[in-house]
Amino acid sequence: RVGRYIEVRLDGSSADEARARVDEMCRQLLANQVIEDYRFDLEPLDAG
């Protein structure tokens, strides 16, 4: 089993909007859903 780690930073997004955008990216660009599963975690960035 091979894993990938990809970090994405989104500006000006609410948590719900960020979750929807990242899910869309995973489904359309990053994962072949026929043979792969994906998961992601959201973490807020420090303002400083």
Digit-by-digit pLDDT tens for the chain (48 residues) are 678 888 888 887 788 999 999 999 888 888 787 888 888 999 888 765
> Residue 46 — φ and ψ, nearest 5°?
-70, 140
- Extents of the domains making up the chain: 1-42
The rounded distance, in Å, linking the Cα atoms of 6 and 22 is 11
Beta strands in the chain (DSSP E): none
Quote the pLDDT of residue 26: 85
Quote the pLDDT of residue 16: 93
* Sequence-distant (≥ 6) Cβ neighbours of residue 30 within 8 angstroms: 4, 6, 38
Encoded amino acid at 13, one letter: S
The rounded distance, in Å, linking the Cα atoms of 22 and 43 is 12
DSSP 46: P
